[in-house]
Amino acid sequence: MNYLAQKIRHIPVLVDQVLDWLITVPSGWYVDGTTGTGGHTAAIISRLLPDGRVLGIDLDPESLAIAREQLASDLSRITLRQGSYTQIPLFLEELSINTCQGILLDLGLSSYCLQSSGRGFSFQSDEPLDMRYDTSNGRPLYEVLPQLTPATLASILSRYGEERRADAVASAIHHEAVAGRLTTSGALADTVKDTVRGPMKIKSLARVFQALRIFINDELNSLETALELLSNILESGRRMVIISYHSLEDRLVKRFLAREAKDCLCPPYFPKCVCSHTASLKVLTNKPVIPTPEEIALNPRSRSAKLRVGERL
């Protein structure tokens, strides 16, 4: 294992709960659509029989390289692919697989991205302000920011970060960006700190960095796209497990599961159903599963995690 792999200490969130909900049969194909550095993937393969297999996918090729090292002893049973979880059906098709026995999406930002990617994900670092998971696609955030109007920036901060002082922060970011001074995560953090003072400063920093990360990676649209695809590739009676970390993601997941558990989506005042929608999932978690106090003490980054489960009808 190389030095970087040793340096990244990633603790999978809700790992026991994931395994208990996800694995209904200890064989067949399971999909980890957000492999990261391999924590959940390793846990899943450890619970399967020798003929069980895992397809691991991640947008970040650097995280996937670490996962390949961490999972080296099990790579005969694990297939790793670099890409988006929206491509799960494509990757399964390449393996001549029509349906799988379980799907996991852990939507959290990996420890590697925060600690060692060098792409400006954390407001506690001073790195190039890139924020892309896959640097081979699109442009880094520092190139995009100067082209955004204050109104567009405010909309991004409000929609994706639920930032209360979105207008003021957006104006400050725009001013620094067009002047060419906003090329690092440290400069962005300083701009936010100079604008939002007092006890809300840290929360605003987290919200602004979250919003811009979601924006540059188009995360919510990708999640919506993936959700529409996933139930169709699950075998009947098998499950999708999704862990979200902020209200925007959790709201999308909750609404999707609730919708797909209904046989009709027509407004209640319609005299009869005209939508022809049929339920495809059963919701198994009426309330989200959350970490125990013991897990939060061990891994503080798990504190906002919410796990929801849907079972294919």
Q: What is the model's pLDDT at position 5?
A: 40
DSSP label of 181: -
What is the pLDDT confidence band of residue 10, given thresholds at 50, 70 and 90? low
Q: Which amino acid is at 64?
A: L
Angle between helices 39-47 and 15-22 (to 10 degrees): 50
CB under 8 Å to 229, separation ≥6 — which residues? Answer: 86, 88, 89
CB under 8 Å to 78, separation ≥6 — which residues? Answer: 41, 45, 53, 54, 55, 56, 71
Q: What is the model's pLDDT at position 126?
A: 94
Lowest mean pLDDT among 116-120, 150-154, 219-223, 253-257: 116-120
Distance from C-alpha of 100 to C-alpha of 29, rounded to nearest angstrom: 5
pLDDT in tens, 62-95: 999 999 999 999 999 999 999 999 999 999 999 9
What is the Cβ-side half-sphere exposure of residue 228, based on CA atoms within 13 angstroms? 6
- The angle at the Cα of 179, spanning 170 to 206, to the nearest 5 degrees, equals 35
Is the C-alpha dihedral spanning 268, 270, 272, 275 positive or negative? negative
Percent of the chain with pLDDT over 90: 83
Q: Where in the chain is the domain with CATH 3.40.50.150?
A: 3-112+220-312
Q: What is the model's pLDDT at position 266?
A: 87
Q: What is the model's pLDDT at position 1?
A: 38
Q: Where in the chain is the domain with CATH 1.10.150.170?
A: 117-217
Asked whether the predicted pLDDT for residue 6 surpasses 70, the reply is: no
Indicate the SS3 state at residue 28.
strand
Topology adopted by domain 3-112+220-312: Rossmann fold (3.40.50)
Q: What is the model's pLDDT at position 3?
A: 35
Using the CB atoms, write b or e for 93-124: b if 16+ within 10 Å: eeeebeebbbbbbbbbbbbbbbbbbebbbbbe
What is the pLDDT confidence band of residue 7, given thresholds at 50, 70 and 90? very low
pLDDT in tens, 42-51: 999 999 999 9
What's the rounded mean pLDDT across residues 133-153? 96
Q: What is the model's pLDDT at position 2?
A: 42
Q: Which CATH number fits domain 117-217: 2.60.40.10, 3.40.640.10, 1.10.150.170, 1.10.645.10?
A: 1.10.150.170
